[in-house]
């Protein structure tokens, strides 16, 4: 097969067809490269000297320079929402910033991670919901310049364009951050009226946000990522029954609204053991599963491909928790080949790591990972 453009390659894979090679992505959450330190080391290794750019206000995720994308054979470019101008960073102390939802996030010195603290919704009452200061999904600054940017990328490059809304945040994620995880789990049983109202309030926001987002860039994108972490490594954080009662109706509303304004594939990010929810995602018409955390229970790649390979595409799969930090470059090469042979058979696979790469992953392993996909991910697969 003759060499395809990145967009052609991406679209064929998402249609469960075999392109010239597996498409390569660098973004499972904003960027696969987690920290400024890891990014700087990779730039030095590759001999790239452009300025780093920090995307996330706390986690310091990176928007990679195009030189990095080209060096790693990446086929995608992300068209992300702007940070709303109405949100002003409120710093409670040197380690804590309040986000636009009123949730404080703390990042202690020396830590790679931020954590939500002091949930703002103190009581499970409708008055608490009514009195909270909610972000505005109609805020125009979220979308300023996005259409022009997407049009330019669509016409002047051959990248596959990916829309990335509220990074790392879905209705369940926001509900527990606003209320606290333990309190929300108890609310689902003890305070169903409050819980239903909270989820519908959040769904209202997402429906409006994605309507505006897709009206702005939906003509140009090939995939949209919606984030919803429903699981831990050993299984669901909530029962499938509670998911179907409170969360799934929100997902149905949100995905139906998205489809009104774009033909792009819908990718759902769900960390950990996602198996318990996959039948629901298929029923909702989800097209792509990310990040395919193969170290979690029930997430063996061959099992996923056998059961869901005709309905779902897979995005991710290379373990960052145990494997990449400890593996040698030859082991990285063999694991990349193995994952491509399993998940890439017949198309339906977007190659990347299953989570953000931490500073304990060497630049040599990063380059080996992506160069192997480019060189050994060619169809027909051997």
Give the pLDDT band of residue 57 (cuts 50, 70, 90).
Answer: very low
CA Rg value for the chain: 20
Strands 96-98 and 104-106: antiparallel
Contact 136, 128 (CB under 8 A): no
Res 111: pLDDT? 76
Res 120: pLDDT? 97
* Token pair 């040599």: residue: 364
**Model's pTM, two decimal places?**
0.94
Contact 41, 68 (CB under 8 A): no
Sequence-separated (6 or more) residues with CB below 8 Å from residue 91 = 97, 98
Give the pLDDT band of residue 53 (cuts 50, 70, 90).
Answer: low
- Whole-angstrom distance, CA of residue 254 vs CA of residue 237: 21
- Whole-angstrom distance, CA of residue 280 vs CA of residue 240: 9
Percent with pLDDT over 90 in the chain: 77
Res 203: pLDDT? 98
pLDDT in tens, 223-233: 999 999 999 99
User: What's the mean pLDDT in 168-179?
Assistant: 93
Res 54: pLDDT? 58
Q: Cα separations (Å) of 371 from 24, 51, 69, 332, 381? A: 10, 23, 12, 11, 16
Res 49: pLDDT? 60
Q: Which two tokens stand for residue 332?
A: 């990285």
Give the pLDDT band of residue 31 (cuts 50, 70, 90).
Answer: very low
Res 40: pLDDT? 81
Pick from 131, 172, 364: nearest CA to 271: 172
- Whole-angstrom distance, CA of residue 254 vs CA of residue 302: 30
Sequence-separated (6 or more) residues with CB below 8 Å from residue 326 = none
pLDDT in tens, 156-169: 999 999 998 766 68
Phi, psi of 314 (to 5 degrees): -120, 135
Phi, psi of 192 (to 5 degrees): -65, -35
User: What's the mean pLDDT in 368-380?
Assistant: 97
Contact 325, 361 (CB under 8 A): yes
Tell me the range of 35-39, 77-81, 122-126 where mean pLDDT is highest.
122-126
The pLDDT of residue 260 is above 90 = yes
- Among 115-124, 145-154, 351-360, name the one with the lowest average pLDDT: 351-360
- Whole-angstrom distance, CA of residue 99 vs CA of residue 20: 43
- Whole-angstrom distance, CA of residue 333 vs CA of residue 326: 13
The pLDDT of residue 47 is above 60 = yes
- Whole-angstrom distance, CA of residue 38 vs CA of residue 15: 34
Q: Which residue blocks in the chain are alpha helix, DSSP H?
A: 6-14, 36-46, 66-71, 126-131, 146-156, 171-179, 181-190, 192-217, 240-242, 248-259, 278-284, 301-308, 329-343, 363-376
Mean pLDDT of the chain: 92
- Among 23-32, 127-136, 177-186, 292-301, name the one with the lowest average pLDDT: 23-32
Res 50: pLDDT? 64
């Amino acid at each position: 097969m003759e060499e395809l453009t990145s967009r052609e390659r991406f679209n064929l894979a998402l249609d469960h067809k075999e392109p010239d090679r597996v498409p390569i992505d660098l973004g499972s959450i904003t960027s696969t490269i987690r920290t400024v330190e890891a990014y700087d080391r990779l730039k030095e290794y590759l001999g790239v000297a452009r300025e780093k750019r920090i995307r996330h206000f706390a986690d310091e995720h990176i928007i990679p320079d195009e030189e990095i994308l080209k060096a790693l054979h990446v086929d995608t470019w992300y068209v992300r929402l702007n940070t709303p101008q109405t949100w002003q960073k409120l710093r409670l102390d040197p380690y804590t910033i309040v986000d636009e939802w009123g949730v404080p996030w703390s990042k202690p010195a020396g830590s790679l991670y931020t954590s939500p603290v002091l949930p703002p919704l103190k009581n499970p009452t409708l008055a608490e919901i009514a009195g909270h200061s909610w972000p505005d999904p109609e805020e125009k600054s979220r979308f300023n310049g996005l259409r022009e940017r997407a049009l330019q990328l669509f016409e002047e490059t051959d990248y596959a364009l990916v829309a990335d809304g509220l990074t790392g945040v879905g209705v369940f994620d926001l509900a527990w951050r606003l209320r606290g995880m333990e309190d929300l789990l108890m609310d689902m049983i003890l305070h169903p009226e409050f819980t239903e109202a909270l989820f519908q309030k959040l769904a209202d926001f997402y429906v409006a946000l994605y309507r505006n987002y897709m009206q702005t860039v939906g003509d140009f994108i090939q995939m949209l990522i919606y984030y919803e972490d429903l699981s831990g490594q050993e299984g669901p954080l909530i029962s499938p029954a509670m998911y179907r009662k409170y969360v799934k109706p929100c997902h149905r509303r949100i995905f139906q609204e998205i489809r009104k304004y774009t033909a792009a594939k819908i990718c759902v990010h769900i960390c950990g053991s996602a198996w318990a929810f996959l039948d629901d995602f298929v029923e909702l018409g989800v097209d792509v599963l990310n990040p395919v955390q193969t170290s979690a229970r029930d997430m063996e790649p061959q099992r996923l491909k056998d059961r869901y390979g005709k309905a779902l595409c897979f995005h991710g799969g290379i373990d960052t928790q145990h494997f990449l930090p400890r593996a040698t470059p030859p082991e990285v090469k063999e694991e990349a080949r193995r994952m491509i042979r399993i998940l890439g058979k017949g198309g339906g696979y977007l190659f990347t790591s299953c989570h953000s790469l931490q500073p304990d992953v060497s630049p040599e392993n990063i380059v080996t990972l992506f160069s192997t996909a480019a060189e050994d991910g060619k169809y027909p697969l051997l």
